[in-house]
Amino acid sequence: MEQKENRQSSLVRTPSSPAPLQRRSKSKSYRQSYRSCVGAASRLCFTPGLTARRLNTSRRPPRPRNIKEQLDPQLLAVLTKTEWQLSYVTPLFQFRHTCLKSYARQLSAFLAAERQQGVAVEVDGDHGFRVSFSVVQGLVESERDPEAVLVQISSKPMFGRPEDPEKTVWSGWFSCVHGSPDYLSSLPQDFVCLPLFCSSGPETLTSIVKSWFRRFFDCSFGPLELDHNTLQWFVTLWTNCQRETDLQRLIMLWTIPAEPPLQVSYEVDAQDAWDLWCSVRRSAQQQQEEEEETEEAIDVKEVQEFMQELKHHFYRHFRLNLSAGNLSQVATALGSAKSSGRIKISNSRYMITTLSLLTECALLKMPI
Amino acid sequence: MAAKQNLSGASDSDQSSPSDQSLSNRSINRSLRLAEKERRKNEAEDSFVLALKYFNEGSSPCARILKCLVPSSVVPQEAVVRAVVWLGISKIAVSTQILFVKWVLTMFDLIDAKDQLYQIYGFIFNFVTDENLCPFICHLLYLLTRKENVRVFRVRKLLELQSKLGRQAFLLHLLSLYKVFCPELVTLSIPSRMKTGFKNHNSPWKSALVAVQKRNGAQVALSSSLSISTSRKRKLGHMDLPTLTPAVNKLISLEPSLSRKLVPLVQIQSFTQLLENIHQIELPAQMGSLLGSSLALHYLDCLQDESALLRMNFWLGYALHEGANQNSDEAEQFLEKLLSTQQFLQEGFFSTEAFLYKFLNVWDGALMRPQILGLISNIPVIPGSQIGRLLFEPLMQLFFTSALYFKCGLMDCLNNMLLKWLTWHSVYALEDDLDISLNSHTSINFTLSGFKNSVEGCHSLLLSFVLDFYETVCDMFLKYGLPLVVMPPPGVFYPAFFATDPVSVDRLAYIMYRYKMNLTSAKYQEKRTEQAFHINGQTFLEFNHYVGLMVNCLWNAKMFEPGIGIELSEKLLLRSNVPNYTESFHLIYHPAFLSYAVDFHQQCWPKRKNLDLTSIKESKPWRWYLEFLFSQGFNGLKHFLESNINWPVAKGSSQGDGVSSQALRWHKSLPLLLPPGSSPLTQPKFPASPSLVGAFTVDSRSLTASDETVADVRRANGRTELLHSASLSDGEAALRHASALLPLPSSLLLMCPPRYRPGVARFCLFLANTRATCETFI
C-alpha cells in the first residue's frame, strides 16, 4: 500500500478539491477483475490479448517421438485412425480429472433425455448409450499442459443380438499440447484449459455432447478453421520429416478465386520436396551462420520461401500462378489437414508437433 | 381416523365461542383490525366446516355445495387440511374428489396460511398414484414443492409414473420444478414446444370468485400461481443468451450441509428476496444467463467472484466473436442488450473491450453503427501509450473515409467516452493506479489534432458535435477536478468563430467563458496551495490569444489589428474593395448576427427608410442591441461579454470612447490569467512581408501549439504517418491554417439584405482570391 502511495506522489496528481468529495471505495470492476487475475503487467501488458497475440513466427522442427511407449495403444489407435473435426473450447470451469466416472453417468443420462425430449430420466440407469470418459495419459508436452480427455459413446446395434459387442458411435477428445505457458498460468485454479476439441461421429451427438459440456462447465465451442498460413506450416513441418519417415507424396489442394472457382491439385514427390526444402534451408542457414544459432528452429521466412519455390515450380510447368490462391488442403503419409478444420493424423510419431500447432491455433481463438 | 372424528364431532359450539369472544374483544378495542380479521376467519371456518360436512358424507349434494363454495375473504388452512385428510378415505366418489382438488387449486391463493399444507406434502404426494387424481395432485404439488421436498424416492416414483403414463405435461412440469431445485437428481430436457401451464382452471368458478371478491372489496391477487409459463425457444445461434438454470456440476461442494443452504439464482423472484439471500446465492450453470434477467444483473453488480466474472467474459467474448460479424437482427438485439447491461452496470466488460479492438480493424463503419459506437463509448480508460494504436488509428481511418453522419456519430461517441472517463476519474482518481490526468492530456490532444483537419469542411452539424466535445473539455477542471486545461486547436476555433450560424458562435463564446472560469479558479488554487499542479504557460497564451481575437473582432471592430494573429497587408485589403474590412466580424456585421442587426434596426427605427447599421453603434442603441441579442437566447455570448468586458462601465462613457474604454478594461483583466513572468503583448510576431505570400503572417503561437500536438502524438504513438500535418513543413502548415481561417460560404449572401449583398460578395471574392493565389503559389 505504501509503495503505491509513493509511486503516485511522484506523478502529477489530482489536487484535493476544496469540498471533500465522497470517494466511493473501489471494490471491483469487470475489467479489473480480469486484469488482476492475469496480472496487469504480464502477458498482455495492458493490451488485451487478441491484438497482441500472433501465431509463432518460428518453431522447432518436429522430432520423432515414440509416444507409443507412453500412450495406451488402444487409445492411440482411436486417435490416429479417424479424421477429426476441430473446434476450439474456452476453458472448462470446475473440470476435474478425478470425476470422470460421474461425468460419464451424467452425460449418458443427458443423452437419453435429449433423445426423448419431454421424458425425464434417472441419472443411474440403462439408457441404451454407454458413455466413457478416459484420460489419455502422456499426450502432453510441457508441465502445465493438462492431460487430454477422451469421450466415447457406444451403443448396442438396434437389431443386434444381446451378445453382440457394443459399437462406438461417437468419440471426441479434448487436449492441450504445448499450450502457451503464460496463458495457462494466467487462468485461476478453477479453470482447466483444454482448448482443442476433436470430434468424430454423427452431428446430432456432437451437438448434444457440446451442449452438455456448455452446461456443465460453462464453456463455449467454436469452429476451428485452418487458414492458409497454418496449412503452410503443415506443409513445411511435414516435409521436414522426410529424412526419418517416408512421406510418399506431398499433396496440396489450392483454391483459386476465379470465376468459376478453380481447384488445383498439386502433387510433389516427397523426395523432390525434401530436396527443395533442403536448399531453402541451406541458404537460410548460411545467412544465419554469423549469428551462430545452434537452435535449428524453422523460421516463418523459410516457410514462405519454400512455398514460393513450390509455386514457382508450378508456374514453370503450367503457367499458372498460385499466389492468388489459398491452400485448402494438405496431405502426406503423416496425415492430412483441411481448411474446413478437419484433420487426420496417420503417424503417431509426429503427433505432438501437429497437436501443438493446432493447440496454438485454438488458443489464438480464445476470446480473452 | 382422529381427524375425521374430530371433525364430525366438530361443532358449532366449539367454533362459536371464540367468535363471541372476539366480538367482546372488539369493545375492548385492543386491536380493531386484528379482531376483525380473526372474526372473519372464524366465520369463514364455520361455514367451510359446515359445507365440508357434506363432503364427508360423499353424497351428491356434496358436489353441488362444493360448486357454490365461493369464499368471500379467505379460506382457512385447517379446513383444507381436514378435507385432504378425508380424501384418504375412499368413501367419496372419484368425481367429487377431483372436484375438490380443483376447488383447492382455484382457491389456492386465498388459503390464509400454508405451513400445515407444507407439512402434509408427503401425504398429498401419495395421491399421485391415483390415476384420476394424478394431474390435479401434480398441480397442487407444483404449488407446494419446496427444495426439501425433492427426494430421490419421489423422483423415482414420478419417473415410474412417467414410464406408465407416457410423457404427460403435468408430470413434466412437476419434474422440471424438481430439476430446478435438485438438478443432480433429475435429468430432463424440455421439448421446444411444450404446452404452457396446467389446464385445471375452472373458469365459471373463477369468475364467480372474482365477482364475490369484488363485492366484498377484498384485494387478493389471483391467478399468479395458477399458470406457469415455460415458453422456451430453441434457436441455433451463438448470440443466444443461455437460459438461467441452476448449477449442475456440484461435485465441488462436498459438504452437503453447506450446499443445501445455497439458493439457486433461478428461484429468486423479487428484489427483497435477493437482498435476503444475497450471501447464499448459488450461481447458475452458465454465467451468460445473468444477462437475461434484470434481477440477476443486480446480483452481478455486487459479485466479487473472479472466476465467475471470467466465465462471463469468456462466454461474452465468444458470443461477440462468433456472432457479431453478421448483420442480423439477432446480433443487433444482442448488442442492444449488452449495451443496456453495461449502462446498468456503468462499466464495460473486458471481453467487449477486447472484441472492439479487434473488430475496429475490420469494421466498415456502417454495420450496426449505433450499437458499436455505443460500446466504444463504454471503453474504460486506456493508457495514453496504447490508445492510439488500439482505438484512434482504426477510428481515424474510418473518420476520413466516412460520410458526415458517421463523423457526427463518432464525435458524439468520443464525447460520451470522455464524459465517462472524467466521471470515473473523479470517483476513483485517488485510489487507482491509473491517473487519467496523465493519459488524457495526450489522448484529447491526440483525438482532436487527428480529427480537426476534417473539421475544416465545417458543416454546421459536425461543428455542433465538435463544440459538444469542447463543452466537456473546457469544464474538466471545475466539474471533474481534473487538473488539465486543453485549448481547442485553431482548426476548431476559427470555423466556429467565423461560422454563419449564430448558434456556433454563441456556443464558442460560452466555451471560452467556461475556459476563463476554469483557468481563473485553477490559478487561484495554484496560489493558495503550494503543491498544486502547473498549467502550461502555453495554455494561457493560447487562451489570451483566442479571447483577444474574439473581443477585437466582435467588440472593437479591429479585426486585422497587429498582434491578434491575423495580419494581412494593407494593400491587399484595400484591393479587395471591402468597405470597413476591419468591421467585418463586428457583432453587428458578423455574418451570424447580421440578420439580427437588421431586424433590430427595423424594430428600433421603424420609420427609417434607409438601413444605417452604424447607428446601432451609438451608446444607447448599442446597449439595446446587446439586450436584444441576449433576449434571443444567446446566453453564451452574454456570459462571454460580461466576463471579459467591464460591462456596466459603458453606461457613463460617451459613444465613441465607450467601446475602447471597455476594451481597455478587458486588457486590465488579462494579466490575471497569464503565467508568471510573461506579459500579454510581448509575444514574438512575424514581420509582415510585402509579398503576397508573406501577406499571410500566421500567428506563431497557434503554429507552435499545433506542432507540439504533433510532437505529442509522435511521442505517444511512435509513428508519424498518423497525422497528415506531421509531414508538412511550416510554410504549408501556415497555409493550412490560413485556409482554416477563411471559410466564408456563399450562403452568407442569402442572409443579408439585398443592399448589402454586393459588399459581402466582394469580400468573399477577395477571400476566395487570396486563397486561390496561395494555392497556385504552392
Tell me the whole-structure pTM to 2 decimals.
0.71
Tell me whether residue B778 is exposed, middle or buried, using C-beta atoms within 10 angstroms of its C-beta: 0 to 12, 13 to 18, 19 or more: exposed
* Helix pair angle (B460-474, B436-455), 10° resolution: 160
Smallest CA-to-CA distance from B361 within B398, B402, B331, B388 is with B398
Q: Which of A14, A27, A367 sits opposite B317 (nearest CB)?
A: A367
Q: Which of A109, A118, A222 sits opposite B190 (nearest CB)?
A: A118
Pairing outcome for strands A342-345 and A83-89: antiparallel
Secondary structure tally for chain B: helices H, strands E: 37, 5
- pLDDT per residue as tens digits for the range A234-280: 999 999 988 888 889 999 999 998 888 889 999 999 999 999 999 99
Pairing outcome for strands A298-299 and A262-269: unpaired
Per-residue confidence (pLDDT) for residue B196, from 0 to 100: 61
CA quadruple B685, B691, B695, B701: dihedral sign = negative
Of the listed ranges A50-54, A140-144, A240-244, the one predicted with least confidence: A50-54
CA quadruple A130, A135, A137, A142: dihedral sign = positive
Scan for cell 460560404, then name that residue.
B745
Give the gap in angstroms from C-alpha B347 to the nearest C-alpha of chain A.
Answer: 7
Q: Cα torsion at A313, A315, A319, A321 (round to 10°)?
A: 160
Residues 692-731 of B with CB under 8 A from A: none
* Helix pair angle (B369-377, B404-428), 10° resolution: 30
Amino acid found at A259: E
C-alpha of B157 from chain center:
51
Q: Do B175 and A120 touch (CB under 8 A)?
A: yes
Q: Do B303 and A28 touch (CB under 8 A)?
A: yes
Give the gap in angstroms from C-alpha B288 to the nearest C-alpha of chain A.
Answer: 9
Q: Which of B189, B355, B425 sits opposite A117 (nearest CB)?
A: B189
Rounded distance between C-alpha atoms, residue B104 and residue B86, angstroms: 14
State phi, psi for B269 to the nearest 5 degrees.
-110, -20
E-assigned strand segments in A177-259: 191-192, 196-200, 221-223, 249-256
Secondary structure tally for chain A: helices H, strands E: 11, 16
ipTM of the complex, rounded to two decimals: 0.85
Is the bond preceding residue B579 a cis peptide, omega within 30 degrees?
A: no
SS3 A233: helix
Q: Which of A50, A110, A368 sits opposite B314 (nearest CB)?
A: A368
Close Cβ partners of B132 (under 8 Å, ≥ 6 residues apart): B94, B97, B98
C-alpha of A285 from chain center:
30
Pairing outcome for strands B281-282 and B263-264: parallel
B441 within 8 A of B449, measured Cβ to Cβ: no
Q: Which of A30, A99, A220 sits opposite B318 (nearest CB)?
A: A220
Per-residue confidence (pLDDT) for residue A148, from 0 to 100: 94
DSSP string, B649-665: GGGTS-HHHHHHHHHHH
Q: Do A30 and B425 touch (CB under 8 A)?
A: no
What residue segments make up the domains of chain A, in order of their start? 9-225+357-365, 228-339
Residues 91-150 of A with CB under 8 A from B: 91, 93-94, 96, 99, 102, 106, 109-110, 112-114, 116-123
Tell me which residues of chain B have a pLDDT lower than 70: 1-61, 90, 191-197, 199-203, 216-239, 250-260, 325-327, 383-385, 429-458, 530-534, 561-568, 647-778
B235 within 8 A of B148, measured Cβ to Cβ: no
Q: Which residues pair with A136 in a beta bridge?
A: A148
Close Cβ partners of B313 (under 8 Å, ≥ 6 residues apart): A30, A34, A367, A368, B349, B350, B351
Mean pLDDT of A136-154: 90
Rounded distance between C-alpha atoms, residue B554 and residue B644, angstroms: 12
The secondary structure element, H or E, covering residue B448 is helix B436-455
Smallest CA-to-CA distance from B132 within B158, B99, B167 is with B99
Rounded distance between C-alpha atoms, residue B438 and residue B484, angstroms: 9
Scan for cell 473486458, then name that residue.
B350
Q: Do A220 and B351 touch (CB under 8 A)?
A: no
Residues of B whose CB is below 8 A from A118: 167, 172, 189-191, 194
Q: Do A48 and B286 touch (CB under 8 A)?
A: no
Tell me whether residue B253 is exposed, middle or buried, using C-beta atoms within 10 angstroms of its C-beta: 0 to 12, 13 to 18, 19 or more: middle
Residues of B whose CB is below 8 A from A31: 347-350, 353, 380
Residues of A whose CB is below 8 A from B478: none
For chain A, what is the radius of gyration of the CA atoms?
25
Residues of B whose CB is below 8 A from A222: 238, 318, 321-322
Selected residue of A7, A14, A213, A364 to mutate for chain B interface (largest B Cβ count, 10 A): A14
Angle (CA) B522-B527-B530 rounded to 5° is 105
Measured CA to CA in angstroms, residue B773 lies from B491, B582, B743, B759, B764 at distances of 21, 22, 16, 21, 14
Tell me whether residue B697 is exposed, middle or buried, using C-beta atoms within 10 angstroms of its C-beta: 0 to 12, 13 to 18, 19 or more: buried
Q: Do A14 and B287 touch (CB under 8 A)?
A: no
Q: Do B483 and A14 touch (CB under 8 A)?
A: yes
Q: Do A51 and B358 touch (CB under 8 A)?
A: yes
Residue A104 binned pLDDT confidence (cut-offs 50, 70, 90):
very high
Scan for cell 485549448, then name that residue.
B487
Residues 281-340 of A with CB under 8 A from B: none
Pairing outcome for strands A148-155 and A191-192: unpaired
Selected residue of A3, A220, A225 to mutate for chain B interface (largest B Cβ count, 10 A): A220
Burial B349-362, CB ≥16 within 10 A → b, else e: bbbbbbbbbbbbee
* Residues recorded for chain B: 778
Per-residue confidence (pLDDT) for residue A89, from 0 to 100: 96
Residues 42-71 of A with CB under 8 A from B: 46-51
Q: How many CB pairs under 8 A join A and B?
A: 208
Q: State what percent of residues in chain A have pLDDT above 90.
A: 45
The secondary structure element, H or E, covering residue A173 is strand A167-175
Burial A25-56, CB ≥16 within 10 A → b, else e: eeebbbbbbbbebbeeeebbeebbbbbebeee
Rounded distance between C-alpha atoms, residue B244 and residue B282, angstroms: 12
Q: Do B248 and A106 touch (CB under 8 A)?
A: yes
B522 within 8 A of A54, measured Cβ to Cβ: no
Q: Which of B303, B390, B428 sits opposite A26 (nearest CB)?
A: B428
Q: Do B318 and A47 touch (CB under 8 A)?
A: no
Selected residue of B167, B189, B241, B389 to mutate for chain A interface (largest A Cβ count, 10 A): B189
Rounded distance between C-alpha atoms, residue B737 and residue B732, angstroms: 8
Selected residue of B162, B307, B524 to mutate for chain A interface (largest A Cβ count, 10 A): B307
Q: Which of A15, A113, A222 sits opposite B188 (nearest CB)?
A: A113
CA quadruple B761, B764, B766, B769: dihedral sign = negative
Rounded distance between C-alpha atoms, residue B363 and residue B381, angstroms: 22
Q: Is B70 on the interface with A (CB under 8 A)?
A: no
Q: Cα torsion at B534, B537, B541, B544 (round to 10°)?
A: 30
The secondary structure element, H or E, covering residue A265 is strand A262-269
* Residues recorded for chain A: 368
Q: Do A99 and B251 touch (CB under 8 A)?
A: yes
Residues of A whose CB is below 8 A from B431: 23, 25-26
Burial B113-150, CB ≥16 within 10 A → b, else e: eeeebeeebeebbebbeeeebbbbbbbbbbbbbeeebb
A34 within 8 A of B350, measured Cβ to Cβ: yes
Amino acid found at B660: S
Rounded distance between C-alpha atoms, residue B46 and residue A61, angstroms: 92
Give the gap in angstroms from C-alpha A72 to the nearest C-alpha of chain B.
Answer: 28
Give the gap in angstroms from C-alpha B167 to the nearest C-alpha of chain A.
Answer: 6
B190 within 8 A of B176, measured Cβ to Cβ: yes
Residues 2-41 of A with CB under 8 A from B: 4, 7-8, 11-15, 17-18, 21, 23-31, 33-37
Residues of B whose CB is below 8 A from A46: 382-383, 386
A170 within 8 A of A202, measured Cβ to Cβ: yes
Q: Is B285 on the interface with A (CB under 8 A)?
A: yes
Q: Do B318 and A222 touch (CB under 8 A)?
A: yes
Q: Do A367 and B189 touch (CB under 8 A)?
A: no
Q: Is B313 on the interface with A (CB under 8 A)?
A: yes
Scan for cell 482505438, then name that residue.
B391
Rounded distance between C-alpha atoms, residue A319 and residue A321, angstroms: 7
Mean pLDDT of A315-334: 92
Q: Do B310 and A106 touch (CB under 8 A)?
A: no
SS3 A290: helix
DSSP string, B717-757: HS-STT-SGGG--HHHHHHHHHHHH----THHHHHS-GGGH
DSSP string, B530-567: TT-----HHHHHHHHHHHHHHHHHHTS--TT-TTSSEE
Q: Is B529 on the interface with A (CB under 8 A)?
A: yes
Smallest CA-to-CA distance from B531 within A74, A202, A9 is with A9
Q: Do B156 and A99 touch (CB under 8 A)?
A: no
For chain B, what is the radius of gyration of the CA atoms?
40
**What residue of A is the nearest CA neighbor of B484?**
A14
Per-residue confidence (pLDDT) for residue B202, from 0 to 100: 64
Give the gap in angstroms from C-alpha B116 to the nearest C-alpha of chain A.
Answer: 30
